[in-house]
Amino acid sequence: MIGKAFLKVTYHRKLISNACFIYAINLDQALLACYAQWLSRTKPPIVYEVADIQPPFVSRGLFGKLLRWIERHILKRSHLLVITSPAFFTGYFKPIQNYQGNCFLLENKLLPPYVPTRILSGVTGKLSPKRAEGKQWIVGYFGILQCQKSLEIIKRVADLLPKQVIFYLRGPAISANINIKQVPNIIYGGDYKNPQDLLDIYQQVDFVWCFDFCQEEHNSKWSLPNRLYEGGYFNLPMIAPQDFEMGRYVERYKIGWTFEAPYEESLTTFFKNITLESYLAVKNNFEKCPLEQFASTKDFSKMCLIAEQHCSASSLGDITPEDSR
């Protein structure tokens, strides 16, 4: 497949010469981009996007060292690095790759034309149907349900608090190792279509589960996943781990709660003690959050403009989540 890709690039080298820039996502495309740039007489600038830091890139083994060496050469040839979380720079590109070039923060925000209209008035204080009836709090865990540790924590908390909390799970690839069917207050509703079903699933919950431990020491600790922006768009308080970038985001905007390990204990204590008043106080903080914080098309347009101007972006040291808003 890689060989075919190189052949296609060779075949279309004249078209590539007319490009304003070459946009490459992840290392494999970046290698193709470098080859395309080498073939082209106009040498269009390369924009290198990294959406996740995969485990091999932080490995101490020979293969990890080789990948980082290749990536450093790609970074030297790239006019702009695009990342989805500022912690990718502070945790990886600056200290490990010693990258000093231009950088742009392109967060995993929703695209407004494809999602329901966000209405603050009357929605901010709304509860899930069950909680509105005085029943349990509903926690939504949506996306690719591949985090085994999250599912284990959810099961333990659900076992301890059958009358206080319900966990509502939607998404593909749910772990077969956790038998959630045996827990009455864990509901798995199957897969869903994004963005068509977002309004339906989010309006059924009170909290958004923003824990992820799939790559706990690196990528999970640095990333800002889609559910963070989806939950924010629908004005739903989030629960997230402390000392993760997700937790710092939640704390910065006061749009949820963060927890320290052992998580099942801190979460159990939280759900035993949370009041409706404290919940609504946090939920009302979404009134201060503009639409562009969670859904925007302007960020990509801004990035394209910078790339076309040969990436005259500001220094990496100034990068923050606010830079692209």
> Using CA atoms, how far apart are residues 206 and 136, in angstroms rounded to an integer?
10
Q: Which two tokens stand for residue 153?
A: 């924590």
How many CA atoms does the CB half-sphere of 109 hold within 13 Å?
Answer: 22
Distance in angstroms (rounded) separating the CA atoms of residues 183 and 196:
29
User: Which token pair is 240?
Assistant: 């997230």
What top-level class would CATH report for the domain 114-293?
alpha beta
Q: Please report the sign of the dihedral spanned by the C-alpha atoms of residue 151, residue 152, residue 157, residue 158.
A: positive
What pLDDT does residue 122 have? 44
The pLDDT value recorded for residue 308 is 79
Vertex 69: Cα angle to 97 and 50 (nearest 5): 55
Residue 178: predicted pLDDT: 58
- Count CB atoms within 10 A of the CB of residue 29: 17
pLDDT at 179: 67
| Beta-bridge mates of residue 259 | 241
CA gyration radius for the chain? 22
The 3-state secondary structure of the chain reads CHHHHHHHHHHCHHHHHCCCCEEEEHHHHHHHHHHHHHHCCCCCCEEEEECCCCHHHHCCCHHHHHHHHHHHHHHHHEEEEEECCHHHHHHHHCCCCCCCCCEEECCCCECHHHCCCCCCCCCCCCCCHHHHCCCCEEEEEECCCCCHHHHHHHHHHHHHCCCCEEEEEECCCCCCCCCHHHCCCEEECCCCCCCCCHHHHHCCCCEEECCCCCCCCCHHHHCCCHHHHHHHHCCCCEEEECCCHHHHHHHHHCCEEEECCCHHHHHHHHHHHCCHHHHHHHHHHHHHCCHHHCECCHHHHHHHHHHHCCCCCCCHHHCCHHHHC
The CATH number, out of the four listed (3.40.50.720, 2.60.120.260, 3.40.50.2000, 3.40.50.1010), of the domain defined by the range 2-109+296-324: 3.40.50.2000
Dihedral sign, CA of 264, 270, 273, 276? negative
Give the count of beta carbons closer than 10 Å to the beta carbon of residue 293.
19
**Matching residue, tokens 């079903």:** 197
- Which ranges in the chain are annotated with CATH 3.40.50.2000? 2-109+296-324, 114-293
Give the Cβ contact number of residue 160 at 10 Å: 15
At residue 312, the pLDDT reads: 45
Separation of CA 197 from chain center: 19
Tens-digit pLDDT string for the chain (325 aa): 677 877 887 777 778 888 889 999 999 999 999 999 998 878 888 999 999 999 999 999 999 999 999 999 999 999 999 999 999 999 999 999 999 999 999 999 998 877 777 655 445 557 777 676 778 999 999 998 889 999 999 999 999 999 999 999 999 866 555 567 689 999 999 899 999 999 999 999 999 999 999 999 999 999 999 999 999 999 999 999 999 999 999 999 999 999 999 999 999 999 999 999 999 999 999 999 998 999 988 898 898 888 877 544 444 444 444 444 4
Give the pLDDT of residue 315.
40
Rounded Cα gap, residues 236 and 37, in angstroms: 45
